[in-house]
């Protein structure tokens, strides 16, 4: 048997969004995530921070630069307008219309696990909208406003659920449907060591391997799709899973198509063999682990910055120079408190 290995070498490639300039007004959750996505794929993202703020709360600052502006002053607003006019994208996280009311304070705190609305429904759909608008601009030469509503984005993500109600797939009370833990073969189960295994064996061929791995016989069990028997079948699965540790179940189901996998904490997810093989997680200069950008493009893949996150105002001087401000004008703005320049200090 001959084995053909194809090696693709990327030499000097330019990322998909190279040359795109983005102004991101500092905020929480969706907008910072959207900005990170754009930066990962090559855009130059400049985050506009407030003055007199020591530490940024942006945990998605990878690859961004920081300019510190006093947006409560007319001069600061004028600087922001100059930056916006010379950029391709402006990201603002406030409610609709608030950007025109600069100087008023409005921040909203979010729950920690807000993946569905903030990040998927908000940040990711916003990034999609920006890329679509940039693509359309290449044909029309005109820009447009992307109104990314987290509520509408989350609802759009749930299109499958909305459409499935008419098919009978999602018409039962909460927790009793096929995909919301109602089905015993689509749920999580506690193991002997207090950990969990996730089960998603819907298709008959996968379900057969699940039953085999659990050491059960199909003839002794109710029919897989007999909904009235699901509670009994779930009790059986619960008792069986509780007899072995997570590691033991992982060894049993590894390499099978039973769709049974360990539920891992964040600090162990990157060490799973699948994620190691795919190199799904990255470590930055501070030793922090985070997921790599997705999707993976074959010719112009993302190349996220692995350097530390920017200090607030670290790039104020260099960015303003790039946008046409003379050094004397920058010094004047600094003296007036319109902008702040915070140079990175060497740690000896």
User: Are the C-beta atoms of residues 42 and 17 closer than 8 Å to each other?
Assistant: yes
Cα distance between residue 268 and residue 256, in whole Å: 22
User: Are the C-beta atoms of residues 163 and 125 closer than 8 Å to each other?
Assistant: no
Phi first, then psi, for residue 108 (nearest 5°) are -125, 130
Cα distance between residue 85 and residue 89, in whole Å: 9
Those residues whose C-beta lies under 8 Å from the C-beta of residue 110, and which sit 6 or more positions away, are 28, 29, 118
Beta strands in 10-135, from DSSP E residues, in sequence order: 21-25, 44-50, 65-69, 89-91
Cα distance between residue 263 and residue 330, in whole Å: 53
- Let me know if 58 is a catalytic residue: no
Which of 88, 118, 187, 309 is catalytic? The answer is 118
User: Are the C-beta atoms of residues 323 and 81 closer than 8 Å to each other?
Assistant: no
Those residues whose C-beta lies under 8 Å from the C-beta of residue 299, and which sit 6 or more positions away, are 10, 13
> Catalytic residues, which ones?
118
């Amino acid at each position: 048997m001959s084995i053909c290995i194809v090696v693709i070498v990327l030499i000097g490639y330019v990322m998909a969004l190279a040359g795109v300039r983005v102004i991101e007004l500092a905020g929480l959750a969706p907008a910072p995530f959207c900005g990170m996505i754009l930066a990962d794929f090559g855009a130059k993202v400049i985050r506009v921070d407030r003055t007199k703020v020591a530490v940024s709360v942006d945990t998605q600052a990878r690859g961004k630069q920081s300019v510190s502006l006093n947006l409560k002053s007319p001069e600061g607003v004028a600087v922001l307008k100059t930056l916006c006019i010379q950029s391709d994208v402006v990201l603002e996280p406030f409610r609709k219309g608030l950007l025109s009311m600069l100087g008023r304070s409005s921040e909203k705190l979010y729950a920690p696990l807000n993946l569905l609305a903030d990040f998927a429904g908000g940040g990711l759909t916003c990034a999609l909208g920006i890329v679509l608008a940039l693509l359309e601009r290449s044909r029309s030469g005109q820009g447009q406003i992307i109104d990314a509503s987290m509520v509408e984005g989350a609802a759009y993500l749930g299109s499958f659920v909305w459409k499935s109600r008419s098919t009978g797939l999602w018409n039962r009370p909460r927790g009793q449907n096929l995909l919301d833990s109602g089905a015993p073969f689509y749920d999580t189960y506690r193991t002997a060591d207090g950990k969990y295994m996730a089960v998603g064996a819907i298709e008959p061929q996968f379900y057969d391997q699940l039953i085999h791995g659990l050491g059960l016989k199909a003839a002794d069990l109710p029919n897989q799709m007999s909904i009235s028997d699901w509670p009994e079948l779930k009790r059986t699965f619960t008792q069986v899973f509780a007899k072995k540790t997570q590691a033991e179940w992982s060894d049993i189901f590894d390499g099978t198509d039973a769709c049974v996998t360990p539920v891992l904490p964040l600090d162990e997810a990157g060490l799973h063999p699948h994620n190691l093989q795919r190199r799904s997680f990255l470590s930055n200069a501070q030793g922090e682990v985070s997921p790599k950008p997705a999707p993976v493009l074959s010719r112009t893949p993302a190349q996220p910055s692995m350097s530390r996150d920017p200090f607030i105002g670290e790039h104020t001087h260099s960015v303003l120079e790039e946008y046409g401000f003379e050094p004397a004008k920058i010094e004047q703005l600094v003296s007036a408190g319109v902008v702040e320049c915070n140079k990175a200090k060497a740690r000896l």
